[in-house]
């Protein structure tokens, strides 16, 4: 196969975490096996971890996880997959309106469609410039880092590799901050109850050992939350940052989301809103864990009103911000429209 391509075709590759193909035990087990075998996700020696993974985790967890996936599955499929497709389509439309002759494609880090397949398709269709945009606002080795790992492994097999730009994070991007802030305002405007007593920014958790080794994730989460709170004009006592989705027995970064909301309820806080700025698209961690499990925990501990504020998904303000982010990454590249403009001139 000839993988030498013209220099003027550019593509945007959006990458999300992933999802099982179906909310059934075999598909969930296959997905979890790929996810939990990643050395960046579980930073233990395979000699120690893999016996636990195959003899304990993959025999017990798929059934429980499949039930959770079924509780949020839609007729169109996995919410994460559906939302990612909508974002890609909306971003393509926005870039077209701006005269950007680039193609937007998307893939999953784990599961289907795979990153390797997406990269090979771009190569075979003549794209020599690729912007890879992991859909994680805050950087962690366990998320954005592992996306880069796939790219590096795939390019080892290629004779001619494309020009590559890789977005490390966008946790403090003004457009992203404004979009999250507006989503919160919109939720407050739509409700007669208005603002809650506490606004909780819940981010995906990370083992404390990763932070101790220098992972910038927690710092970036705190910076994102502070910027969003400032955009909303909130006082420090009005909001707090927590971390969800713990796995295993090791200590993870604190405070943990569910125990925090339960403690707030027991202290007499009656209303809380939870937003998840670390997720740009709704998924099992937001729709099931937050809007079901944490919701029930808050009410069960004596809280009165719990409101989950949905992710950005394909909100117009977010798509506009995403197009700005992409435009910045494309700057300086001789893309197709730039070449055509030169010829016309």
Q: What is the CATH number of the domain that holds 285?
A: 3.40.50.1400
Q: Determine how β-strand 163-166 pairs with β-strand 198-204.
A: unpaired
> Are the C-beta atoms of 283 and 291 separated by less than 8 Å?
no
Q: Which of 120, 124, 150, 175 is nearest to 17 (CA)?
A: 150
| Same domain for 326 and 281 | no
Q: Which of 81, 8, 14, 9 is nearest to 319 (CA)?
A: 14
Q: How many whole angstroms separate alpha carbon 114 and alpha carbon 98?
A: 29
Query: 46-55 burial, b if ≥16 CB within 10 A, otherwise e?
Result: eeebeeebee
| Same domain for 268 and 151 | no
Q: How many whole angstroms separate alpha carbon 266 and alpha carbon 263?
A: 5
| Same domain for 204 and 146 | no
- pLDDT attached to residue 4: 45
Split into its structural domains, the chain has a count of 2
* SS3 state at 18: strand
Element (H, E) at 64: helix 58-72
Q: Determine how β-strand 103-111 pairs with β-strand 239-244.
A: unpaired
Note whether residue 345 is domain-resident: no
| Same domain for 185 and 82 | no
| Same domain for 161 and 42 | yes
Note whether residue 343 is domain-resident: no
Range of the domain at 282: 174-309
| Same domain for 21 and 121 | yes
| Same domain for 25 and 122 | yes
Note whether residue 295 is domain-resident: yes
As separate numbers, helices (DSSP H) first and strands (DSSP E) second, the chain gives 14, 8
Residue list, annotated binding site: 204, 285
Strand-pairing partners, residue 165, are 131
| Same domain for 117 and 62 | yes
Q: How many whole angstroms separate alpha carbon 343 and alpha carbon 165?
A: 26
Note whether residue 83 is domain-resident: yes
* Tens digit of each residue's pLDDT (9 = 90 or more) over 34-85: 999 999 999 999 999 999 999 999 999 999 999 999 999 999 999 999 999 9
For residue 220 the two structure tokens come to 């970036």
- pLDDT attached to residue 248: 81
| Same domain for 16 and 150 | yes
> Are the C-beta atoms of 128 and 163 separated by less than 8 Å?
yes
- pLDDT attached to residue 303: 98
Note whether residue 339 is domain-resident: no
* SS3 state at 253: coil
Residue list, annotated binding site for Fe(2+): 204, 285
Each residue's pLDDT expressed in tens, for the chain with a length of 345 residues: 444 444 468 999 999 999 999 999 999 999 999 999 999 999 999 999 999 999 999 999 999 999 999 999 999 999 999 999 999 999 999 999 999 999 999 999 999 999 999 999 999 999 999 999 999 999 999 999 999 999 999 999 999 999 999 999 999 999 999 999 999 999 999 988 789 999 999 999 999 999 999 999 999 999 999 999 999 999 999 999 999 999 888 899 999 999 999 999 999 999 999 999 999 999 999 999 999 999 999 999 999 999 999 999 999 999 999 999 999 999 888 655 555 555 555
| Same domain for 211 and 162 | no
For residue 77 the two structure tokens come to 């499929």
First to last CA, the chain: 36
| Same domain for 52 and 132 | yes
Note whether residue 262 is domain-resident: yes
Note whether residue 63 is domain-resident: yes
- pLDDT attached to residue 340: 53
Note whether residue 125 is domain-resident: yes
Which residues in the chain belong to E strands, given as ranges? 10-19, 103-111, 129-134, 163-166, 198-204, 239-244, 271-275, 305-309
Burial of 341 by CB count in 10 Å (0-12 exposed, 13-18 middle, 19+ buried)?
exposed
| Same domain for 178 and 166 | no
- pLDDT attached to residue 7: 45
């Amino acid at each position: 196969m000839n993988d030498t391509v013209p220099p003027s075709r550019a593509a945007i590759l959006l990458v999300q975490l992933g999802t099982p193909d179906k909310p059934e035990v075999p598909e969930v087990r296959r997905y979890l096996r790929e996810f939990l075998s990643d050395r960046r996700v579980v930073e233990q020696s395979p000699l120690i971890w893999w016996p636990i993974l195959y003899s304990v985790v993959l025999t017990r967890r798929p059934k429980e996880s499949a039930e959770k996936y079924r509780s949020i599955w839609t007729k169109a499929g996995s919410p994460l997959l559906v939302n990612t497709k909508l974002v890609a389509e909306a971003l393509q439309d926005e870039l077209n309106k701006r005269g950007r002759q680039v193609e937007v494609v998307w893939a999953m880090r784990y599961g289907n469609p795979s990153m390797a397949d997406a990269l090979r398709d771009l190569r075979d269709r003549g794209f020599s410039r690729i912007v890879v945009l992991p859909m994680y606002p805050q950087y962690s080795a366990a998320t954005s880092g592992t996306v880069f790992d796939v790219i590096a492994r795939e390019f080892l097999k290629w004779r001619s590799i494309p020009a590559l730009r890789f977005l490390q994070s966008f946790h403090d991007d003004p457009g992203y901050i404004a979009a999250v802030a507006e989503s919160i305002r919109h939720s407050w405007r739509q409700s007669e109850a208005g603002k809650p007593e506490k606004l909780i920014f819940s981010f995906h958790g990370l083992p404390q050992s990763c932070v101790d080794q220098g992972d910038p994730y927690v710092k970036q989460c705190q910076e994102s939350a502070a910027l969003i709170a400032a955009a909303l004009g909130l006082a420090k006592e009005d909001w707090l940052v927590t971390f969800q989705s713990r796995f295993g027995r090791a200590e993870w970064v604190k405070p943990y989301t569910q125990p925090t909301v339960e403690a707030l309820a027991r202290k007499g806080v009656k209303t809380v809103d939870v937003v998840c700025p670390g997720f740009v698209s709704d998924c099992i961690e937001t729709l099931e864990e937050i809007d079901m499990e944490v919701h029930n925990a808050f009410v069960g501990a004596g809280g009165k009103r719990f409101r989950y504020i949905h992710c950005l998904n394909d909100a117009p303000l977010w798509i506009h911000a995403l197009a700005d982010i992409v435009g910045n990454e494309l700057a300086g590249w001789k893309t197709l429209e730039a070449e055509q403009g030169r010829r016309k001139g």
